[in-house]
Amino acid sequence: MENAFKNTTLIKNGRLIDPKSNIDKVTDIAIQKNKIIAIGTQIPTDFNAEITIAADGLWVLPGIIDLSAYLREPGLENKTRIHYETYAAASAGITRICCMPETESPIDTGAVVKLIRSKVKQAGFAQVSMIGALTQKLEGKQLSHMGSLKYVGCVGVTQGWNSIENLATLRKCMEYAATFELPLFLHPLEHSLMEKGGIHEGALATRLGLPPIPVAAETAAMAQIISLVEQTHTPVHFCRLSTAKSIHLLKQAKQDGLPITADVAIHQLFLTEMDLCDYNPLCHTIPPFRSERDRDALRQAVSDNVIDAICSDHQPHEIDAKLAPFEETSPGISGFETLLPLTLKLVEENVLDLKQAIAYLTHKPATLINSQAGTIQANAKADLSLFDPKIFWQLEAEKLLSNGKNTPFSGWSFEGKTVQTLIKGKTVYKL
């Protein structure tokens, strides 16, 4: 008799961990074409899979949605290419990347969106959602054509780390974005307080003789944006918070019922200003690594579910970008391949439970871009990964699949590794 099920896969005996569905059990998952059709006892008895994946001893996790990454193409091909970065993401269980606009080639027209989309399709690895430019060329003066960006599929708009002309312009941007129901992703940074700094303002900055970035550079901008949210009622997502005082402002805004959410980069939950004590350019980030007190406040915020998502803030660089004196190096960390391992370290250190940790990387960020992804249930897209919790490994920067080898976590030991990633039911990475 002819098999009624075509293009089918069965994942057998895996430990399914899906916080959105509140499932944590060993079970089977039936996939047909690009969708999950049934789980466990709901799988039809006549289901005859063409491919069977033995997942004994493995975790089956929803695909990770990474809220922030810089893919460098088009415009910065000297650093890397979309092909390499989307493959590196897939190797880490990331099935969807939110691509941030680059200053050199801002995502401010439909043509740029279509170009990136064509390169992503040609690569065939992790999927990419684009966050468009809030202003034309990210110059902070003229509003971008947000309606066109929404039409071609952008999931939000941002000014990135670029300054905006004044608060009146920002207010217009907020109101205009709201008319298209485009989420606003805003980095709180008061540029007039920043100078050319790359280190937290404190005793270490003074001792090293490096220009500092004070806490107020973040909190002053954040307070101004919150005031505009009160006036306009426009939802805002704060990107990459780094200070204890920012967490205080976030808590207060949420208690006041304002439509505000926020994320944190995973590296901010581990490193502090003291990791820069030898002028380590691999620790040059924006926002900078703050004090131990700030890091602990961020950890408490994720533990208490005050923060809404954890992201990699993936910024791959060529080797030369990190070889100059500290303040002249390019900020940023290559973060795809450490996002899940570091988040699971928070579980080892009792900062998060396992369900919380997976939620911060899957359905929670999916909600922020109005996506139904980040879950494993019937009729959902078959975007998922298989993770072996028994693999012990040590990170070696030169072995990263990303072209960016700029990580301060080289030499760190981790427990567990992604061994297979499926996107729309198709295996795009296998260890």
Helix (H) or strand (E) holding 218: helix 216-232
Closest alpha carbon to 242 in 274, 213, 202, 204: 213
**Facing residues of 132 across strands?**
157
Express the helix, strand and coil content of the chain in percent, nearest 5 each: 35, 25, 40
Neighbour count for residue 235 (Cβ, 10 Å): 18
**Facing residues of 246 across strands?**
none
Q: Determine the residue type at 208.
A: L
Q: What angle do CA 411, 66, 31 make, to 5 degrees?
A: 105
Q: Could you tell me how many residues make up the chain?
A: 431
Distance CA 101, CA 107 (A): 5
**Facing residues of 11 across strands?**
29, 53
CB 132 within 8 A of CB 419: no
| C-alpha pair distances (Å), 259 with each of 100, 228, 236, 349 | 22, 11, 7, 31
Q: Is 313 a catalytic residue?
A: yes
- Residue among 313, 353, 383, 388 flagged as catalytic: 313
The first and second tokens of residue 364, run together, are 């929670």
Distance CA 264, CA 256 (A): 21
> Beta strand 260-265 with 236-238: parallel, antiparallel or unpaired?
parallel
The first and second tokens of residue 292, run together, are 């131990």
**Residue where the block lists tokens 């976030």:** 250
Q: Is 159 exposed, middle or buried (0-12, 13-18, 19+ CB in 10 A)?
A: buried
The first and second tokens of residue 389, run together, are 């919790």
Q: Determine the residue type at 41.
A: T
Distance CA 162, CA 139 (A): 7
Task: List, by residue number, the catalytic residues.
Answer: 313
